[in-house]
Amino acid sequence: MALYVKKFGGSSVADVKKIKNVAERIVETADRGHQVLAVVSALGDTTDELIELADQVSTIQPKREMDLLLSTGEVISSALLAMAVEEAGKRATALTAHQLGIQTDLTHTRARILGIDGERIKAELAAGKIVIAAGFQGVTENLDVTTLGRGGSDTTAVALAAALDADQCEIYTDVDGVFTANPAVVPEAKKIERIGYEEMLELASLGTEVLQVRAVEVAWKFQVEVHVRSSFNKQLGTIITGSDQVMEDVQVRAVTVDEDQTRFTVHAVPDKPGMAGKIFGALAAREINVDMIVQSSPVSSDSLNDISFTVSRTDSAEALETLDELVELGCGTKLTVDDEVAKVSVVGSGMRNHPGVARDLFTALGEAGINIETISTSEIKISVLVRAARADQSVKILHSLFDL
C-alpha cells in the first residue's frame, strides 16, 4: 500500500463533470489498494470572481481579509470533491488548512509554510478515508488564514507529500507536462520526460506556469519526486527529480518567455553609498521581488546613476507607489515605467560546461534584428529582455537554434 498525493488545479475541477472525472481518478488509485491524499484548487474561475467581488466592494483590501476571502474557493472545491468521491463509492473527508495542520508565517497573500502537523491526515487515512485537502492556504500561529500565492496549491501538495513521506506526488494539470517551449508559440516543442530540480526551478521562475516556484523549491529541499501530468488523459507527463536521475545533461533544456514583467527606471539617482540599498530595501520590505537590475555608470560630473529593473506585473502597482515615495524623498529625479517588455530565457544544466551558449544566443537574436535591452544570467540560464512584440519570434529562433 502506497500513499499517493494528487493535486488537481482549477482547470481540472472547472465544472461538475470534471469534478466527477477527478473523483473517479482518485477512486481508481484507491481501488488498487493505495491511500490517497488529494489537494484541490478552487473551481475554474472562482478566485477571479472573488477578486472581482472585492474590487466592487472596496478599494481598500487588507491582505488578511483578501486571504480569508480567497481561501473559501478551495474550501468549496474540497467539500464538493469529497462528496463526489463518496458518490463514486469511497469514504472521503475534506480538510482545511487548520485541520491539515499547515502552519505558515504572517506574510498574507504569499505566506511560507513553516511546518505541517500531519496527525489529523494520518488518522483519517488510517481510518480508511480518502483525504481531500483544500490547497493554497495555511494558518498563522494566531489562527488567521493565509494563502500561499498564485499556484500555491502546488506547494501545498509537495509540502504534504514531504511531511507525510508520500510514495508519489502527482500534479494534475491541463497540459501534458513540461515542454521545451510553450507549444502555443512553438508547435514543434517537445514534452520533457525527466528534468532536474535546478532546471525546473529556473523554468518555473522564468514564466513556465506548470508548477509554482516554491513547489519546486520544497520538492528539491525534501527530495520529493514530482510527476506533472494531464488530468484529461492517462499519458505519463514530466518527472521532476534529482539531477542524478536525469540521464542527459543538455546544454539547453527549454526556452521560456515571461511577459508578466514591468520595467521601472529611476533616473538620476545620486551616486553615493546606500542609495541602491534604500531603493531595493524599500521594495523588499513590501515583499516585492526584483529582477534584471541594471545600473548605468555615472557619466556626468554630478555623479548620477540611472537604475533600472523589472518586477512581476502583479507587484507593479505596489512598486510604483513605493518608488514614487522614494523619488519624492530625493532618491532620483524621475521614474519611468515600461510595460511593453518580455523576458526570454534559455535554461539548461549543461550550460555550466558549454560557454558558447550566450554567444550563440546573442548572435541569433542580433541577426534577426531583435534588440536585447538587458541581460541576466545564472550558472544554468540566460535571460534577455526584449520588446514584448518580438518575444514569440525570439522564442522560435532560440528553440530552433538549440535543436530542441
Residues in touch with a second copy (CB under 8 A): 16, 19-20, 50, 53-54, 56-62, 64-66, 68-69, 71-72, 75-76, 78-80, 82-84, 86-87, 93-94, 96, 98-99, 120, 143-145
Q: Which is nearer to a second copy, 57 or 114 (CB)?
A: 57
DSSP letters, 238-305, are EEEE-GGG-S---S--EEEEE--EEEEEEEEEE-STTHHHHHHHHHHHTT--EEEEEEPPP-STT-EE
Cell of 203: 523554468
Q: Which of 393, 402, 403 is nearest to 371 (CA)?
A: 393
Separation between Cα atoms, residue 104 and residue 233, nearest integer Å: 34
Report the nearest approach of a second copy to the CB of residue 100 (Å). Answer: 10
Separation between Cα atoms, residue 249 and residue 262, nearest integer Å: 33
- Residue 334: how many other CB atoms lie within 10 Å: 10
Report the nearest approach of a second copy to the CB of residue 144 (Å). Answer: 7
Q: Which is nearer to a second copy, 18 or 399 (CB)?
A: 18
Separation between Cα atoms, residue 356 and residue 353, nearest integer Å: 9
Q: Which is nearer to a second copy, 57 or 236 (CB)?
A: 57
Tell how strand 3-8 and strand 168-173 pair up: parallel
Residues 6+ apart with CB under 8 A from 52: none
Cell of 397: 529562433
Torsion sign over Cα 164, 2, 95, 8: positive
Q: ∠ CA(109), CA(14), CA(166), 5° rounding?
A: 65
Report the nearest approach of a second copy to the CB of residue 77 (Å). Answer: 10
Q: Is 41 exposed, middle or buried (0-12, 13-18, 19+ CB in 10 A)?
A: buried
Report the nearest approach of a second copy to the CB of residue 235 (Å). Answer: 27
Report the nearest approach of a second copy to the CB of residue 84 (Å). Answer: 5
Q: Which is nearer to a second copy, 71 or 156 (CB)?
A: 71
Report the nearest approach of a second copy to the CB of residue 27 (Å). Answer: 13
Residues forming a β-bridge with 258: 343
Q: Which is nearer to a second copy, 120 or 390 (CB)?
A: 120
Q: Which is nearer to a second copy, 21 or 168 (CB)?
A: 21
Report the nearest approach of a second copy to the CB of residue 289 (Å). Answer: 26
Q: Which is nearer to a second copy, 22 or 164 (CB)?
A: 22
Report the nearest approach of a second copy to the CB of residue 228 (Å). Answer: 26
Q: Which is nearer to a second copy, 58 or 303 (CB)?
A: 58
